[in-house]
């Protein structure tokens, strides 16, 4: 569950480039809900996502995920509570690593790590099933490097 309440963000405050990007943005999503945020160029869509992900601190408002207040958490600590896919598939992925390795990295986000196989057999089987659902043929390219996909 996500509760983003009354988010405020002004870029370059007090300068000639001051830009109020978020002025009271609020969004409540229950578990399993899906939503599309629409708006023209510069409306603040990416700024809103960046605020939730914690790219920089917001000027006001609060963000809770599953009842945990993450408003003051830096991005790397918030990563434990959320996942994010970027507009550019080369952002947020490791280009020199395989599809299954990238998925394994994502699956381990926020968890303690030790030395062991990067991707286990059962994980690979699970990723195969998950990707099959998308019907993009990626399930048969699990060992292809992400940077060489297109
Ligand atoms: N890091 C930043 N520094 C200064 N201004 C910024 C920054 N990020 C966004 N802005 C400004 O904040 C406003 C909202 O931008 P944002 O990128 O959130 O819009 P958007 O809705 O995602 O637009 P698009 O449809 O073009 O992706 C714009 O005026 C933009 O120029
Ligand atoms: Mg954008």
Q: pLDDT (tens digit, 9 = 90+) per residue, 49-83?
A: 999 999 999 999 999 999 999 999 999 899 889 98
CATH 3.40.50.300 range(s) for the chain read 2-78
- In short, whether 44's Cβ falls inside 6 Å of ligand 1 is yes
Question: Would you state the pLDDT for residue 49?
Answer: 96
CATH topology of domain 2-78: Rossmann fold (3.40.50)
In this prediction, residue 4 carries a pLDDT of 98
**Beta strands 60-65 and 19-29: pairing type?**
unpaired
Atom 29 (ligand 1) nearest CA: 42
Instruction: State which residues have CB under 5 angstroms from ligand 2, the bound ion.
Output: 45-46
| Helix (H) or strand (E) run with residue 76 in it | helix 75-78
Number of Cβ within 10 Å of residue 84's Cβ equals 15
pLDDT bin (cut points 50, 70, 90) of residue 150 is low
């Amino acid at each position: 569950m996500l509760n983003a309440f009354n988010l405020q963000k002004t870029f370059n405050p007090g300068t000639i480039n001051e830009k109020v990007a978020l002025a009271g943005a609020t969004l409540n999503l229950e578990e399993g809900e899906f939503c599309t945020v629409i708006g023209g160029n510069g409306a603040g869509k990416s700024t809103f996502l960046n605020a939730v992900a914690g790219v920089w601190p917001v000027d006001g408002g609060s963000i809770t995920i599953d009842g945990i207040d993450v408003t003051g958490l830096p991005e790397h600590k918030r990563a434990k509570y959320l996942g994010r896919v970027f507009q550019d598939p080369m952002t947020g992925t490791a280009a020199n690593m395989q599809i299954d390795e990238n998925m394994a990295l994502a699956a381990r986000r926020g968890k303690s790590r030790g030395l062991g196989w990067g991707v286990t057999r059962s994980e690979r089987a699970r990723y195969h099933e998950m990707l099959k659902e998308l019907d993009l043929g990626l399930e048969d390219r699990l060992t292809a490097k992400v940077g060489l996909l297109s």
